[in-house]
Amino acid sequence: MASIHYTKDHEWVRLDGDTAIVGISHYAQEQLGDIVYVELPPVGKKVGKGEEAAVVESVKAASEVYAPVSGEVIAINSDLEAKPAAVNEDAEGSGWFLKLKVANAAEADELMSAEQYKEYLASIA
């Protein structure tokens, strides 16, 4: 079964074997407001943990989306280019940004679990 982890920058990653699906959290999309544009990386791009992997723009601001784990981009959610509002509708589901072939699965152990992320959000509210 896939496990989900979160970063303090409000990205989420769902690991399924050596594949990582990456997006921004429900909290992040709420803070951004209506999302109007998503810039996705090219397939084949290698990203390190914490490096910029994508960009999301809303009516309020533009924000980088950082890779929660290192890997190579193996797929992007091209639907977001035509319909970026899908991130607002289902940020942690169909609003995913990219898929990575994970270089080091142990990096995910340094991220927060869903419960830890919920506690983190409570601490910054």
Domain span including residue 33: 3-124
Given this model, what pLDDT does residue 125 score?
78
Q: How much is the pTM?
A: 0.95
pLDDT score for 66: 98
Report whether pLDDT(1) > 70: no
pLDDT at residue 121, as a whole number: 97
Cβ atoms of 22 and 13 within 8 Å: the answer is: yes
Q: What is the pLDDT of residues 50-93, one digit of tens each?
A: 999 999 999 999 999 999 999 999 999 999 999 999 999 999 99
Give the total number of structural domains in the chain: 1
Question: What is the structure's pLDDT at 2?
Answer: 67
For residue 83, report the phi and psi dihedrals to the nearest 5 degrees. -140, 70
Give the residue among 83, 68, 97, 87 at the shortest CA–CA distance from 29. Answer: 87
Q: What is the overall mean pLDDT for the chain?
A: 95
CATH number, position 105 = 2.40.50.100
Q: Are 10 and 115 in contact (CB under 8 A)?
A: no
* Cβ contact 20:14 at 8 Å: yes
Residue 95: predicted pLDDT = 97
Angle at 68 between CA 1 and CA 41, to 5 degrees: 105
